[in-house]
Structure 1
């Protein structure tokens, strides 16, 4: 899948028609009138999870019109759900849907829709090294099972060999559902959930799933590169973790009804981590199938890692905002695959390209916009020239049009929104992708020169030369729309020009070994499996930790400075705010041993949902629990979250937080506050003394500001001991 597809905005695409074949009965039914609906219902009396799917489906059929329950009518059911959510997916007409909704046991009916996918050096960039540090301490994720819900997998790729792997843990209950898929000790399970076709193998027809799975837990592969660039030993974040694959997406996207079916199987199989590089637009949690299904996963102790979305840099563009999941944004790393552009006037610019076949000597430089041509499609008179094109669509598509027109090379001009971010996507001809500031100078040169020329000079791969990490322009930003009082995204991680396993030959690749191919992709799809793998390292080290504890460890140990020891910047090289970076950039070595954690149990999440003002039915949809709000209600700020967000209009906030000691038994922490002067900030007590492991301490945080003078402020507080720094960001907005 090309990079531009991964950068699609998170928009639901309505399914207008879902065609099915009618039965051989006398009814002459127009199948084009059918839609797929997901029906949420209350469990039947005396329900247990051991109830067979056959018995459950029989009960579900009682919700349908009587004429549909006879044996000679069309087969309408696609899925029956009983773990992640309770209900079923069914193909029915709008009139039949209206009939179903009249049943008192029906909580909600959703129309099915399609969600987009959010699509080597990174382990070293993150401080993960083979014989030292976090990999050595954690066993590289050994014994942990990561469930990847994506487009499937190329199970023949060498990244998924099982050399050095242990047998899967005894708790594993899954298998490879298709005889066409071969499992091993690395790849321990696989099944497909595309329109209910569970017998089909989870073959990856996109490449997206293979890429994300290998990023999370691919094994060691020496000599991995894209066209010889980025050469090194490829490995996932948790190279000794097991992988279970659930195909819930195709190359066209992810159908909502397939996702909870895959999640349900992952829970039943016994995964520890769920990694999902997908998502839709923000909405109330009771209308968000992924959020409600993830609540059930959290209840089972499963950590869920989800993409923040690719709709940045505008504010409030997030997906997957629920506080019980990790919401992952994207950032750059310090590697560049340098493709230099030298103009006829001598100016030199550093662009990028993974495909570096041969240098181009000075050639005539053509900019189609100045000659009245339709941008870079159906070009004329460009043979033997270098074409400068605006990067407004897929770089691969542009490259193919330019090559077919006979051009010798291509300069892709970054757009204003992309700022200083460049991509190294594989292409089919010599190309250099330059950032927006450089693109502006190149445009000016072309417009001011009577005979502009340029050359492209390939300089291979460089490490450590660029400012990193930088927040990617496409990485979706907060504040959250579903719950503004929860600071999102939670974290950022590598998501630009990530090299990982790939099932296809790309571009002009001369590598004939299909099973060793790798590709370079960008998106929050790429950052999400990095965090999934890191969560597996933590889970392997602390198997009894809750998903909230793992998330707390990741967030409170994140760093907020780049490799120049300065504040992390955004794509325009401005200081990145909390709604871009969340708690900061993930630091695996620190997250393994956080010192203190902020834990949250199911009951507190429910109290938080009640505090959002949701009705009993809406909370029942999320938590599968009736009359949940008879207990306590808490505000968003009172949730024991590792960060703090509050509206500026409030003028004041006083909340309690509780931390649990997971570091040294005898330890002392002192608070340090970093807030603007206009916000009067205090913490009480200022010191926390612990005498044993798992001991809990509660403290109070007070913020006071003048609403007439302060409409935005950011800072943090942190608990500091001899060995640990436990940091929490604060955002007033």
Structure 2
């Protein structure tokens, strides 16, 4: 199967999955077995569930205890076990058997960013929310680092009584009032007798440390990445508690069984917020174990933020599609680590690079383009011989290829004694550029700048260039924009649910990182990275602030507040753009870019109860067996009031026109969380060829938490549409609030991926 690249790390391609290894027993493979609990069987503790699950295996496996390695009791009822085909066949015939999932592989997908979000120390919403105090954020990733100052507990209150998790750190590491829990669910190895030696939850890779610091890191003054982005590093919710759950080994992708166990353990321990910067390709919801686990989390009142993925810019590349999770796209901030290319003809082009340790001064160096012969490997500078072109002492123009490979390409250039690198985007990546760690003076420039540089190369026999390092610059650029890598909608699994949901800062973000070799350096390490794996914890932090300010809000209410108050204009007052330089669609940015202050006072919210998600699942056309894979308990769709995915009380609206469906109606219900006595009027905007009628056009409230419904009727009024999709909105406007729901219109909706 296709798996995600790490969103800001390069993986070794030669990866061995633990799912296929078991002490040399090549016929054993890992499966996640969902089971049905008899009504008369009462299990009151985690150990009760585990012992029952072991008993279910005893008649099918030669040794049940070593074979079973996870027992799920909170977000799903079942277990993970290593079985051969004969044992699996036997289990599948048992009365208690529901479904066997293959143990697939998933992978792991801030000085200025808080200011960009409008969060300023001692002021406004950040102060009102008490910086997330009392909320517990669970980061399901590859561990934590209690020795990093971003997780210092000075001034932190003790853990709340609701949190019951443990601490698996080994001396000299320990939990504190900041990192209040550290659990591991992955094995380091297994002895010949079957004894499990767990992998301690210490993060030596960096992914979890960075994502956790972005969500809830404490304030660290004079933080920088090699002098870049110098300032005070702090997470979005610095007074929230942190619990880390290690579900991934240091250099190996994550297994479904371990991720599910991490979610199960976190929810059982009592976290309020889950941050999941990991994922895999779209599959039907009943086969998606992360979707199954997070649905169980939502049923327990836990808010889930999940990265939208890093497979953009192609359509339907979004990987987080369950309507119960907040799917987070990445956006830029108004900070650049600037490296300007100056050509021999005097033209200059601003790019980005983290290499800021000395440039060429006023010297102009020879400029070469090894890819002139059109070989893609040479064009992108992934050929260590550069197509036979001598690059010694020269600046090398590299074109296209995977933008995440910039650091590797700079290494190849350094090894060939090249002087510097200019990486130009191909047309696919367009105007997206971001800083990466380079090993020679470098600049990442957009596609248009690259075309002009190529034109200059052709115009002279002796082209020259230099790279001027200008350091950290705040302001002067449009932001946010949607980078090319951020995964886009629409969802293949449920096209009528707009995905992604929201955009958060995810480009050029500063975060904590383990010091190399567990060394106790005087200066703590920070790095700058990009990816939806960083925008996801930003939104987890925002959710923690909202949970602290509004402890009675449900996960759906928090999600609605975030989406209906999002910004769709950038810092210049113009529509947010994507890598093409054109306005971004809702399929790229969701409802828009998060605005935490506005989200704190949304006026109206769209609430969804957990049982509404089950009605939605029934409406997808799944049979009862498939639905029972998703739900922890038995569900009979015939006894539920089934709803279509279009009618789920979602904060966004999707209109599914087809050649035969030209009229469509849906109903929404809003809850008043603003002024008790208030009136809202409908304000709509529709694209040409679509008519919208709203009934009623005015909503009047007399008390808090009062609910009102409205009906939307869409009619396609023109013939064929040149575009496959269009968009509009409905705003409910009062004296003090604007509640905006994005409307995406699909003119030829495909059937869902079932």
**TM-score (norm: length of structure 1):** 0.93
Structure 1 residue aligned with 2:158:
167
> Contact 1:157–1:515 at 8 Å: present in 2 too?
no
Does 2:727 correspond to 1:714? yes
Does 2:661 correspond to 1:670? no
> Contact 1:598–1:642 at 8 Å: present in 2 too?
yes
Once the two structures are TM-superposed, the CA of residue 570 in structure 1 deviates from its matched residue by 0.9
User: Which deviates further from its counterpart, 693-702 or 529-538?
Assistant: 693-702
Structure 2 residue aligned with 1:598:
606
User: Which deviates further from its counterpart, 188-197 or 489-498?
Assistant: 188-197
Once the two structures are TM-superposed, the CA of residue 382 in structure 1 deviates from its matched residue by 2.7
Gaps of 5+ in 2: 189-195, 747-754
SS in 1 for 2:469: strand
Does 2:94 correspond to 1:103? yes
SS in 1 for 2:411: helix
Structure 1 residue aligned with 2:26:
32
Deviation digits for residues 105-161 of structure 1 (CA, Å, limit 9, x no counterpart) = 22211111211211x211000100002111111101010000001121222111111
> Contact 1:100–1:106 at 8 Å: present in 2 too?
yes
User: Which deviates further from its counterpart, 429-438 or 486-495?
Assistant: 429-438
SS in 2 for 1:123: helix
Whole-angstrom distance in 1 between the partners of 2:572 and 2:457? 34
Deviation digits for residues 421-466 of structure 1 (CA, Å, limit 9, x no counterpart) = 1121122221111112112222232344322211010111111211
Structure 2 residue aligned with 1:366:
368
Deviation digits for residues 302-330 of structure 1 (CA, Å, limit 9, x no counterpart) = 00000111111111111120111101111
Whole-angstrom distance in 1 between the partners of 2:355 and 2:154? 31
Once the two structures are TM-superposed, the CA of residue 221 in structure 1 deviates from its matched residue by 1.1
Whole-angstrom distance in 1 between the partners of 2:618 and 2:60? 40
Deviation digits for residues 502-538 of structure 1 (CA, Å, limit 9, x no counterpart) = 11459xxxx9936521111111101100100000000
Does 2:375 correspond to 1:384? no
Rate the CA distance shift 1:160–1:707 in 2: closer, same or farther, 3 A. Answer: same
Does 2:669 correspond to 1:658? yes
SS in 2 for 1:337: strand
Does 2:140 correspond to 1:149? yes
Whole-angstrom distance in 2 between the partners of 1:8 and 1:106? 39
> Contact 2:43–2:49 at 8 Å: present in 1 too?
no
Structure 2 residue aligned with 1:253:
253
Does 2:53 correspond to 1:60? yes
Whole-angstrom distance in 1 between the partners of 2:71 and 2:367? 59
Structure 1 residue aligned with 2:229:
230
Of 166, 188, 191, the match for 2:183: 191
> Contact 1:648–1:707 at 8 Å: present in 2 too?
no
Does 2:417 correspond to 1:406? yes
Q: How many residues align?
A: 714
Once the two structures are TM-superposed, the CA of residue 48 in structure 1 deviates from its matched residue by 4.3
Whole-angstrom distance in 1 between the partners of 2:534 and 2:699? 38
User: Which deviates further from its counterpart, 484-493 or 697-706?
Assistant: 697-706
Does 2:734 correspond to 1:728? no
Gaps of 5+ in 1: 22-29
SS in 2 for 1:416: coil
Whole-angstrom distance in 1 between the partners of 2:619 and 2:613? 10
- The CA RMSD over aligned residues, in Å, is 2.4
Structure 1 residue aligned with 2:483:
472
Of 629, 632, 636, the match for 2:641: 632
Superposition pairs of residues 445-484 of structure 1, within 5 angstroms: 445-484=456-495
> Contact 2:46–2:73 at 8 Å: present in 1 too?
no
Of 408, 411, 415, the match for 2:426: 415
> Contact 1:133–1:589 at 8 Å: present in 2 too?
yes
Deviation digits for residues 262-286 of structure 1 (CA, Å, limit 9, x no counterpart) = 1111111110000000111111111
> Contact 2:665–2:712 at 8 Å: present in 1 too?
yes
Rate the CA distance shift 1:198–1:687 in 2: closer, same or farther, 3 A. Answer: farther
Structure 2 residue aligned with 1:20:
22
Structure 1 residue aligned with 2:513:
502
Of 405, 424, 445, the match for 1:434: 445
Rate the CA distance shift 1:190–1:129 in 2: closer, same or farther, 3 A. Answer: same
Structure 1 residue aligned with 2:192:
none
Structure 1 residue aligned with 2:104:
113
Once the two structures are TM-superposed, the CA of residue 47 in structure 1 deviates from its matched residue by 4.0
> Contact 1:63–1:103 at 8 Å: present in 2 too?
no
Once the two structures are TM-superposed, the CA of residue 678 in structure 1 deviates from its matched residue by 2.3
Once the two structures are TM-superposed, the CA of residue 201 in structure 1 deviates from its matched residue by 2.3
Once the two structures are TM-superposed, the CA of residue 682 in structure 1 deviates from its matched residue by 1.8
Structure 1 residue aligned with 2:124:
133
Deviation digits for residues 84-109 of structure 1 (CA, Å, limit 9, x no counterpart) = 11111111223322222222322211
Deviation digits for residues 298-356 of structure 1 (CA, Å, limit 9, x no counterpart) = 01100000011111111111112011110111111111111011112222110111220
Deviation digits for residues 14-42 of structure 1 (CA, Å, limit 9, x no counterpart) = 95962222xxxxxxxx5122211111111
User: Which deviates further from its counterpart, 712-721 or 170-179?
Assistant: 170-179
SS in 2 for 1:275: strand
Once the two structures are TM-superposed, the CA of residue 69 in structure 1 deviates from its matched residue by 4.1
Once the two structures are TM-superposed, the CA of residue 388 in structure 1 deviates from its matched residue by 2.1
Rate the CA distance shift 1:514–1:279 in 2: closer, same or farther, 3 A. Answer: farther
**TM-score (norm: length of structure 2):** 0.91
Of 698, 711, 715, the match for 1:687: 698
Of 584, 597, 611, the match for 2:592: 584
Superposition pairs of residues 292-371 of structure 1, within 5 angstroms: 292-360=292-360, 361-370=363-372
Whole-angstrom distance in 2 between the partners of 1:64 and 1:243? 35
Whole-angstrom distance in 1 between the partners of 2:104 and 2:28? 13
